[in-house]
Amino acid sequence: MNIKKVVFPVAGLGSRFLPATKAIPKEMLPIIDKPLIQYAVEEAIDAGFDELIFITGDTKRAITEHFDFKPDLNISNLTQDKKNFLSEMHRIIPDHISCKYIIQKEPLGLGHAILQAKEAVGGDPFAVVLADDLIDAKQGALKQMLDHYKDEDSSIVSVQKIQKSESVNYGIIECNKGSESLVKITNIVEKPTPENAPSNFGVVGRYIFCNKIFSLLEKISVGVGNEIQLTDAIKLLLETNPIFGYEFNGTRYDCGTKLGFIKANISYAFKNTEYAKELSGFIKNLS
């Protein structure tokens, strides 16, 4: 299957990161020196996607500017070092990749954000990536999912084993036993209490959807948190189409929370040999 389109919903309020997210989307917060959204875009491009569709907020334009920005390399006083840094910026989005920016006028929920991409996606299956779920993996999570994708009537959502006590933060799937990493989903519940959680598989922000999800997103009304919930559309889709849960290889950081964001920054800093030694001494002293 040739899936080329990927949707990045980046129009959430990011209220857990206020005031940092007053003027910029949380997906622009950096892990070391790179904004979350750029990690997500690189993962999608590495997986072979070449049409990037961003669902942006009405007021925060930083993401559009980030990807459109091509610095002028002819500024007269640039040192070679600076030229090298700036020329790297030209390579963020290779020429064969197209970017579309669609405005979600009101933050009515993730389901509503995805629905804004309906026209741009057309009749094809497509992927969705939530950049605030940063996944550190040898092979990108999206590429792993594509490798398990079956046909254009089926869908895959990425899942991760979670502590049951954390179920209130996730969509939780109920499933039949499948292969080691791929299970067939039979039900999904949005943010259940631990007692009501049907499994310890929580959904995280990578999806491949069959096109039918759009007509179901149009049908549903507001759900949990007064938002149009993607989970409700997935539940409806289960009535007619197969949906699989894929447990990816890799470490996921929930960068929608402050603690997850801090952990991601520390972990990525330790990957850099230049910082690792000094950091470990620094952290030992702190603790």
Enumerate binding residues for ligand UTP (CB under 6 A).
9-16, 26, 55, 104, 107-110, 112-113, 130-132, 256
CA distance 244 to 238: 10
Name which of 56 and 144 has its Cβ closer to ligand UTP: 56
Residue with the shortest CB distance to ligand UTP: 12
* Radius of gyration of the chain measured on its C-alpha atoms: 19
Name which of 242 and 260 has its Cβ closer to ligand UTP: 260
Q: Which residues make Cβ contacts (< 8 Å) with residue 259, sequence separation at least 6? A: none
Q: Is the dihedral of CA 118, 122, 124, 130 positive or negative?
A: negative
Name which of 29 and 55 has its Cβ closer to ligand UTP: 55
Q: How far is the CB of 129 from ligand UTP (least distance, A)?
A: 9
CA distance 188 to 231: 7
Q: Is the dihedral of CA 44, 46, 48, 53 positive or negative?
A: positive
Tokens 């922000």 found at: 205
Name which of 104 and 160 has its Cβ closer to ligand UTP: 104
Name which of 154 and 261 has its Cβ closer to ligand UTP: 261
Q: How far is the CB of 112 from ligand UTP (least distance, A)?
A: 6
Reference 183, options 212, 235, 222, 148; nearest CA is 148
Q: How far is the CB of 109 from ligand UTP (least distance, A)?
A: 5
Q: How far is the CB of 102 from ligand UTP (least distance, A)?
A: 10
Distances (CA, A) of 106 to 65, 80, 100, 201, 223: 20, 44, 18, 30, 16
Name which of 225 and 281 has its Cβ closer to ligand UTP: 225
Q: How far is the CB of 4 from ligand UTP (least distance, A)?
A: 21
Q: How far is the CB of 131 from ligand UTP (least distance, A)?
A: 6
Q: Which two tokens stand for residue 134?
A: 């940063």
